[in-house]
Amino acid sequence: MHSILALSWQNVVDGNGVPLALTGLAIVFSGLVLIAVFIAALPRLLQQWDRLMAPRPDPAAAPTPAAPESADPATASPVVQAALAWVAVRELEVFRLGDQQRLTLQSHRRSGMWRAIPSLRDIDPSD
Amino acid sequence: MHSILALSWQNVVDGNGVPLALTGLAIVFSGLVLIAVFIAALPRLLQQWDRLMAPRPDPAAAPTPAAPESADPATASPVVQAALAWVAVRELEVFRLGDQQRLTLQSHRRSGMWRAIPSLRDIDPSD
Amino acid sequence: MHSILALSWQNVVDGNGVPLALTGLAIVFSGLVLIAVFIAALPRLLQQWDRLMAPRPDPAAAPTPAAPESADPATASPVVQAALAWVAVRELEVFRLGDQQRLTLQSHRRSGMWRAIPSLRDIDPSD
Amino acid sequence: MDLLIQFAPTTGLAGLTWGNAIMIVVGLVFITLAIVKDYEPLLLVPIGFGIVVGNIPYSDGMPLGVYDEGSVLYYLYFGVSQGVFPPLIFLGIGAMTDFSTMLSNPKLVLLGAAAQMGIFLTIIGALALDFTPLEAGAIGIIGGADGPTAIFLAAKLAPHLLGAIAVAAYSYMALVPVIQPPIMKLLTTEAERKIHMKAPRQVSRRERILFPICAFLICAMIAPGSIALLGMLFLGNLLKESGVTERLAESARHALIDIVTILLGLSVGASTQASTFLTPQSLLIFGLGAVSFMIATASGVLFAKFMNLFLKDKINPLVGAAGVSAVPDSARVVQMIGRQTDPSNFLLMQAMAPNVAGVIGSAIAAGVLWSVLVL
Amino acid sequence: MDLLIQFAPTTGLAGLTWGNAIMIVVGLVFITLAIVKDYEPLLLVPIGFGIVVGNIPYSDGMPLGVYDEGSVLYYLYFGVSQGVFPPLIFLGIGAMTDFSTMLSNPKLVLLGAAAQMGIFLTIIGALALDFTPLEAGAIGIIGGADGPTAIFLAAKLAPHLLGAIAVAAYSYMALVPVIQPPIMKLLTTEAERKIHMKAPRQVSRRERILFPICAFLICAMIAPGSIALLGMLFLGNLLKESGVTERLAESARHALIDIVTILLGLSVGASTQASTFLTPQSLLIFGLGAVSFMIATASGVLFAKFMNLFLKDKINPLVGAAGVSAVPDSARVVQMIGRQTDPSNFLLMQAMAPNVAGVIGSAIAAGVLWSVLVL
Amino acid sequence: MDLLIQFAPTTGLAGLTWGNAIMIVVGLVFITLAIVKDYEPLLLVPIGFGIVVGNIPYSDGMPLGVYDEGSVLYYLYFGVSQGVFPPLIFLGIGAMTDFSTMLSNPKLVLLGAAAQMGIFLTIIGALALDFTPLEAGAIGIIGGADGPTAIFLAAKLAPHLLGAIAVAAYSYMALVPVIQPPIMKLLTTEAERKIHMKAPRQVSRRERILFPICAFLICAMIAPGSIALLGMLFLGNLLKESGVTERLAESARHALIDIVTILLGLSVGASTQASTFLTPQSLLIFGLGAVSFMIATASGVLFAKFMNLFLKDKINPLVGAAGVSAVPDSARVVQMIGRQTDPSNFLLMQAMAPNVAGVIGSAIAAGVLWSVLVL
Ligand code: NA
Ligand code: NA
Ligand code: NA
């Protein structure tokens, strides 16, 4: 096997190896540097956006309400999540789509047309 | 943009526009009218079918047993369904297909070959 | 219809019917006989493998640890399984992947990269 | 260094045109509307992202776009251009649609027919604006307010307009809560909007099983061109209602429809490259689409008032607006407007009947247009 | 008015032939049997609906049918005609099949081989009835009582008979509870039917992991033609048993197999257009298929009696009938007949061994027939 | 008897070469490693089984292999050879990836760039070993430690080497826990390994929604060749984070990615037929792949040390090794080595940042190589 391991620098030169590697690395770095800069600036950009939007009372203008992120269950500890899940099992609307279907938990947030259709038979008109 | 909004009735005539629209609408209406007539007649047709079939004691002749539709859990109120689901969780056969698999509830109604296969290892011979 | 039911033995001879059938059957039998022999021998082969491996203390050499198969929940009775499942619901790590996602039970056995990724946000660093 | 210079023109920035930039903004608007306003997010997010993807400039030699044979998007778009994805989506929709409200309200089915007037008047308009008959047919179907139907017919009649037609159809479907209310209020009196309707009766399981089979036969015999769409819709519904194929219905209404929706949305969005999309034709198509939705809404409402001339149990004419399909948004709009006038008036269940009938109606219309215009 | 007249001949009703009408009724019978009798509903509902769809008449110019290039059904049928769908279904079946009962009963595997006699005797019959060798091979495989195997081999050997062969195979698989019992009773004495068999032993996880790999190597070395089917079957089983790829097995046994089943059933059904399906050949194929199932059942039972001549632990010969596969219906029939004679005799577990062996057996047979007849 | 003799040469055993036997053993080793050592089982089990399937000998006349037009494996391999499967897998990966740790650690992103050094130095090595520039590019991407990216680029640049490159990439990804630790220990002092890093901050939902959109625009503008992969990755992530398309994300991260993984793994494995795979070139590719992983690891670690020269909050240089991607195995290795030195040092969260950045980095690299080498 050692015989085929003859390294030829000439091939590298012919194949534009070094400029190719440098170009490639430069572009990869520039892409990820830009991303790094963007995500570093993002929190401040969002703050400024909120300040711009705050005087205007139009609630739709802000991309999302400034939710209390600290209460986000996805970031709580597993133990808290387990407890939350337990409560969810007992409290959320539980409904069956068909005869042989597995039980699903449905949160109250609607998500477009498909989620709505199967439940139409059970729909509560006071909704 | 207003310049290209020049409406030409001649194009409509050349393209058979009006007969096309009338034909199309007539066919759409005839299709849906037929469906409306069919579904309006359906309950009575089924009643007559039941009357025809009633004297014959062959249970297989009726497409479906005249199930007590009012007890259909899918049409009950969400609250009742939630309760039913809760009972189901406790009462139905709960089994695991594999080591890492999520728990599923299995109703007793078989649905052909595939549902049967995975449970064969656990099968109760007195079934 | 009886007219087209004229059986012609000559066709069978021309089509090599009998040797085809015998060859085919012979091969099917040889395949399944080999499988039967293999699975009949398998438990003994595994025993010998274990004996070969036993003196060597390298635990990785045995394809799987000789697990106490009798405790395999998949082979227990449905009642026991239901009970196990019930306990699992209460004891296993319960976590949510996203806002509207159904609850899943996660066993502690990792299964490669994909299972790991979604839980990274919740990951307990002392894991 | 030479290579870096050689690479520069292949970057996206180098080739970015104003058209691309505009379309990328349009895509971002779609995504924003979907997330912030919750307008048809399941379709607007993939389509919006697709519009962004489709307007990234790239060098000619690299097969990246929807129209470049051999590219990834080309293969995904194949399901759109050959009309395969829309029927698969209908299979999933069938497996989630409950026709019970329609079965218990046969006369409301006619409202689903009346609202298809939008399709056919728009065709006349499109012809007047110098579109060819094939193009006019494809544009008219926007008024059917059914994305998969519009994509299917456009792929058959006028593939070069598919992107504009699909984007217009989904845009207006998302905008149903904006477009319909003024028309509905304009064409109805307060007294009419206050009409209460009887609660729908219980529908037996046998009716629900027989319906998809017989309705399919009726539609297929009248307009065979609709069987690709309606065959799938009713097969999906039969799988759901039969009681013995629940696992198939489950996969059709989850894995299948979700996967196809992502791929369809992404590739339809990506087909709106500025160079082919930003044309006066596209603007006309958007204009005609808007008109189409308005005519459809008005036709449904007015036909309900017309039916009331002959009926003892009056129909609340608002319900007619649900005949445009755009399931279930237009039914929701009916409920909302109804309760604005009389908070105790719940019309959602009744509105679902013309709503699903409108899906069938526009699929029949697509079948008719296909056979009349192509043959 | 002219257009309406021009449209009239394009409607389905105008072109409806007696043949179409008969086939539509056949399709409806399939659906009814599936729903009312619960006969293989997962396949009979899509196939039955497909038969209805495939027999809606349409004008020549519109690409709607399975055989019209560019139609939706054409693309779905591609997975059938190229033999891609059957292996995917086998992948899912592998991911749900538990070979434990077979692993603990090696000698019962031979019954799964014996029952393949039905395949080969039917080939002789088909040759005698003037079918070509390729056609005869494709017809014979009906006796394997395995839908995907039959479709796979028919697509390779005799694509023009695929519809008839597939429909015959699935019909008789659905009718297993009707076809098998008389033969089983005829060929066994009451004493034989009362034989109790030992409960199968516990099978270790290692055995279950090693089995799919080694069984694949054995089958592939003997009949490489079977690797498309058996490779997928055993890969699916390995994914299930390995313990580290459960999520892949889960998707294979749910989303994948469900979606493929709907598309395969619909398009196979739609390939039975009356003009090509209602031929004397199809009747002969149905006749041969019935004979094939009977021979297979008888062979299994008789071979079990033959084995008993040499065995100390006697086999209940009823178990031989499960060798035809038709998983798991024929195993259920065995259990049922066994308990009719002795209510305390539970044969289901033992019957599953020849049952799954029969699946392997007919896939090997398909591989052999393919290579012998094509090369 | 004649037929049996005629059949004999068509059996697998008859055609078995030493090469096939070796490859079958390789496949079995893959499966064993996956099951016993739990090394990337979701990919090694299908690939290992595919290697076994692809090395079953068969007669020339039967279309069975990946390269035989019309065979089942040919159609499955189509998704690999046309580069369709890798983006679909990226869609699913996007729908499960949480970029939060990266969003809260922007500077760690650079480590994901540094580790791509492995790709470019390997290209120089491959050129030196007499591979063509196209081949060298495809081989270099092994150092990206991303299976789908490697398959995608190899399919575009050097389809004849795809099997070797894919198998090498997945082998070394599985072997990350073996390859990386010695290099990481060699290049860091004990004091460096003991550096504790701050816990990442909470990331808001808006940041998580905006990230995939903006990151896509950045990457696409710089290297449009990466949009097939990164478009899907970021679309999947947007579906996950938008909060309104959870059902689409759910299907993308379960049914879709699972099914595609099985088909990709099986067909990539089956493309390693001994006759085309067991060549000196493949050995060189494996050698270069190993070097590539080592360079990537070293580059990540050394670049972290370089960054520390300028930073007040020092980075633990071990974290740099996670820049190679191989998600999440290399992040796990970082955590493991970190705790070996100081059991109270938990680096997993911090290591995930360069880990996912490495995925983006190698996709950009693939885009650049594609456009520079093909144009
Ligand atoms: Na409509
Ligand atoms: Na069989
Ligand atoms: Na990477």
Phi, psi of B105 (to 5 degrees): -95, 135
Q: Please name which of D70, B1, E302 lies closest in space to residue F82, comparing C-alpha atoms.
A: D70
Q: Is F37 contained in some domain?
A: no
pLDDT, mean of residues E214-232? 94
pLDDT of D277 > 60? The answer is: yes
pLDDT of B4 > 80? The answer is: no
Report the C-alpha gap between F118 and F137 in whole angstroms: 12
Separation of first and last alpha carbons in chain C: 76
Q: Please name which of F212, E208, E76 lies closest in space to residue D45, comparing C-alpha atoms.
A: F212
pLDDT of D96 > 50? The answer is: yes
Report the C-alpha gap between D99 and D105 in whole angstroms: 10
Residues 235-274, chain F, touching A (beta carbon < 8 A): 243-247
At D10, is the pLDDT very low, low, confident or very high (cuts 50, 70, 90)?
A: low
Query: What's the pLDDT score for residue A78?
Result: 47
pLDDT of C28 > 90? The answer is: yes
| Distance in Å, alpha carbon of F128 to nearest chain C alpha carbon | 35
Q: Please name which of F113, F112, F118 lies closest in space to residue F291, comparing C-alpha atoms.
A: F118
Give the ligand with the smallest distance to the CA of D153: 1
Q: Is D13 contained in some domain?
A: no
Residues D284 and D167 sit within 8 Å (Cβ to Cβ) = no
| Distance in Å, alpha carbon of C75 to nearest chain A alpha carbon | 23
Show Cβ contacts of residue D169 under 8 Å, excluding neighbours closer than 6 positions.
Answer: D141, D142, D144, D145, D146, D147, D150, D151, D289
Percentage of chain E surpassing pLDDT 90? 70
Chain E residues with CB inside 8 Å of D248's CB?
42, 45-46, 258, 261-262
pLDDT of C119 > 60? The answer is: no
Show Cβ contacts of residue D129 under 8 Å, excluding neighbours closer than 6 positions.
Answer: B4, B5, B6, B7, B8, B11, D284, D288
Tell me the CA distances in angstroms from F282 to D233, F56, F279, one per residue in order. Answer: 51, 20, 5
Stretch (H or E) spanning F2: helix F2-7
Ligand 3 centre distance from Cα of residue F147 (Å): 9
Q: Is D1 contained in some domain?
A: no
Phi, psi of D272 (to 5 degrees): -95, 45
At D3, is the pLDDT very low, low, confident or very high (cuts 50, 70, 90)?
A: low
Higher per-residue confidence, B113 vs F302: F302
CB contact under 8 A, D41 and F375: no
Report the C-alpha gap between D70 and E90 in whole angstroms: 30
Tell me which DSSP letter residue F198 carries. P
Query: What's the pLDDT score for residue F9?
Result: 67
Report the C-alpha gap between D95 and D217 in whole angstroms: 18
CB contact under 8 A, D209 and E6: no
pLDDT of E122 > 90? The answer is: yes
Ramachandran quadrant class, E352 (left: phi over 0; alpha: psi -120 to 50; beta: rest): alpha
Instruction: Tell me the torsion sign for CA atoms D239, D241, D245, D249.
Output: positive
DSSP string, F117-146: HHHHHHHHHHHHTT--HHHHHHHHGGGG--
Comparing alpha-carbon positions, the chain F residue that sits nearest to E375 is F61
pLDDT tens, residue by residue, D318-343: 999 999 987 888 888 999 999 988 88
pLDDT of A87 > 60? The answer is: no
At C75, is the pLDDT very low, low, confident or very high (cuts 50, 70, 90)?
A: very low
pLDDT of B66 > 80? The answer is: no
Residues E357 and C32 sit within 8 Å (Cβ to Cβ) = yes
Residues D159 and D135 sit within 8 Å (Cβ to Cβ) = no
**In terms of residue numbers, what domain contains D177?**
66-374
- Least confident span in B84-98, D141-155, F76-90, F214-228: B84-98
Residue type, A94: V
| Distance in Å, alpha carbon of D137 to nearest chain E alpha carbon | 15
Q: Please name which of A111, C105, E101 lies closest in space to residue D44, comparing C-alpha atoms.
A: A111
Q: Is A117 on the interface with D (CB under 8 A)?
A: yes
- Residue B105 β-bridge partners: B94
| Distance in Å, alpha carbon of E363 to nearest chain C alpha carbon | 9
pLDDT tens, residue by residue, C37-60: 999 999 999 999 888 887 655 444
Tell me which DSSP letter residue A104 carries. E
Residues F168 and F285 sit within 8 Å (Cβ to Cβ) = yes
In chain C, DSSP finds a helix count (H) and a strand count (E) of 4, 2
pLDDT, mean of residues D264-277? 92
Query: What's the pLDDT score for residue D204?
Result: 92
Higher per-residue confidence, A9 vs D23: D23
Q: Is B61 on the interface with D (CB under 8 A)?
A: no
Query: What's the pLDDT score for residue A56?
Result: 53
Please give, one letter per residue, the 3-state secondary structure of chain E. CHHHHHHHHHCHHHHCCHHHHHHHHHHHHHHHHHHHHCCCHHHHHHHHHHHHHHCCCCCCCCCCCCCCCCCHHHHHHHHHHCCCHHHHHHHHHHCCCCCHHHHCCHHHHHHHHHCCHHHHHHHHHHHHCCCCHHHHHHHHHHHHCCHHHHHHHHHHHCHHHHHHHHHHHHHHHHCHHHHHHHHHHHCCCHHHHCCCCCCCCCCCHHHHHHHHHHHHHHHHHHCHHHHHHHHHHHHHHHHHHCCCCHHHHHHHHHHHHHHHHHHHHHHHHHCCCHHHHCCHHHHHHHHHHHHHHHHHHHHHHHHHHHHHCCCCCCCCHHHHHHHHCCCCHHHHHHHHHHHHHCCCCCCHHHHHHHHHHHHHHHHHHHHHHHHHHHC
Report the C-alpha gap between E286 and E284 in whole angstroms: 5
| Residue E20 token pair | 């179409």
Q: Is E286 contained in some domain?
A: yes
Q: Is D252 contained in some domain?
A: yes
Please give, one letter per residue, the 3-state secondary structure of chain B. CHHHHCCCHHHHHHCCHHHHHHHHHHHHHHHHHHHHHHHHHHHHHHHHHHHHHCCCCCCCCCCCCCCCHHHCHHHCCHHHHHHHHHHHHHHCEEECCCCCCCCEEECCCCCHHHHHHHHHHHCCCCC
Stretch (H or E) spanning F368: helix F348-374
Residues C68 and E205 sit within 8 Å (Cβ to Cβ) = no
Phi, psi of D80 (to 5 degrees): -85, -50
Higher per-residue confidence, B62 vs E200: E200
Ramachandran quadrant class, B16 (left: phi over 0; alpha: psi -120 to 50; beta: rest): left
Query: What's the pLDDT score for residue A8?
Result: 77
Instruction: Tell me the torsion sign for CA atoms F107, F113, F118, F121.
Output: negative
pLDDT, mean of residues D68-83? 93
**Interface pTM (ipTM) of the complex?**
0.85
Residues of chain D that touch chain F, judged by Cβ-Cβ distance less than 8 Å: 3, 6-7, 10-13, 16, 24, 28, 31, 34-35, 38, 41-42, 45-46, 49, 52-53, 56-59, 61-62, 64, 70-73, 75-76, 254-255, 258-259, 261-262, 266
Query: What's the pLDDT score for residue E58?
Result: 87
Query: What's the pLDDT score for residue B76?
Result: 44
Comparing alpha-carbon positions, the chain D residue that sits nearest to E263 is D88
Residues F301 and F316 sit within 8 Å (Cβ to Cβ) = no
pLDDT tens, residue by residue, E267-315: 999 999 888 888 888 989 999 999 999 999 999 999 999 999 998 889 9
pLDDT of D26 > 90? The answer is: yes
Q: Is D316 on the interface with A (CB under 8 A)?
A: no
pLDDT tens, residue by residue, E63-104: 889 899 889 999 999 999 999 999 999 999 999 999 998 999
Query: What's the pLDDT score for residue F106?
Result: 92
Query: What's the pLDDT score for residue A18?
Result: 87
Strand pairing report for B104-106 and C94-95: unpaired
Tell me the CA distances in angstroms from E189 to E186, E293, E320, F18, F204, one per residue in order. Answer: 8, 21, 14, 53, 76
Query: What's the pLDDT score for residue B118?
Result: 47
Percentage of chain D surpassing pLDDT 90? 70
Q: Do chains B and A touch (3 or more CB pairs under 8 A)?
A: yes
| Distance in Å, alpha carbon of F13 to nearest chain E alpha carbon | 5
Instruction: Tell me the torsion sign for CA atoms F118, F124, F129, F134.
Output: positive
User: What parts of chain F have a pLDDT lower than 70?
Assistant: 1-10, 12
pLDDT of A19 > 90? The answer is: no
Q: Is D19 contained in some domain?
A: no
Average pLDDT, chain D: 91
Phi, psi of A105 (to 5 degrees): -95, 135
Report the C-alpha gap between F64 and F62 in whole angstroms: 6
pLDDT of A62 > 70? The answer is: no
Residues in chain D: 375
Residues D140 and D292 sit within 8 Å (Cβ to Cβ) = yes
Q: Is D93 contained in some domain?
A: yes
At B69, is the pLDDT very low, low, confident or very high (cuts 50, 70, 90)?
A: very low
Report the domain count for chain E. Answer: 1
Q: Is C36 on the interface with F (CB under 8 A)?
A: no
Separation of first and last alpha carbons in chain E: 60
Radius of gyration of chain E from its Cα atoms, rounded to whole angstroms: 21
Query: What's the pLDDT score for residue E275?
Result: 86
Residues F192 and F111 sit within 8 Å (Cβ to Cβ) = no
Tell me which DSSP letter residue A95 carries. E
Cβ count within 10 A of residue D47: 30
Q: Is D227 contained in some domain?
A: yes
Query: What's the pLDDT score for residue B114?
Result: 55
Report the C-alpha gap between E249 and E92 in whole angstroms: 8
Report the C-alpha gap between F358 and F324 in whole angstroms: 6
Ligand 1 centre distance from Cα of residue D146 (Å): 6
Query: What's the pLDDT score for residue D198?
Result: 84
Give the ligand with the smallest distance to the CA of D176: 1
- Torsion from C-alpha of A77, A80, A82, A88, nearest 10 degrees: -130
At E2, is the pLDDT very low, low, confident or very high (cuts 50, 70, 90)?
A: low
- Least confident span in A45-54, E233-242, F361-370: A45-54
Query: What's the pLDDT score for residue F89?
Result: 95
pTM of structure = 0.87
Comparing alpha-carbon positions, the chain C residue that sits nearest to F146 is C113
Report the C-alpha gap between D359 and D145 in whole angstroms: 8
| Residue E54 token pair | 């495939």
Ramachandran quadrant class, D269 (left: phi over 0; alpha: psi -120 to 50; beta: rest): alpha
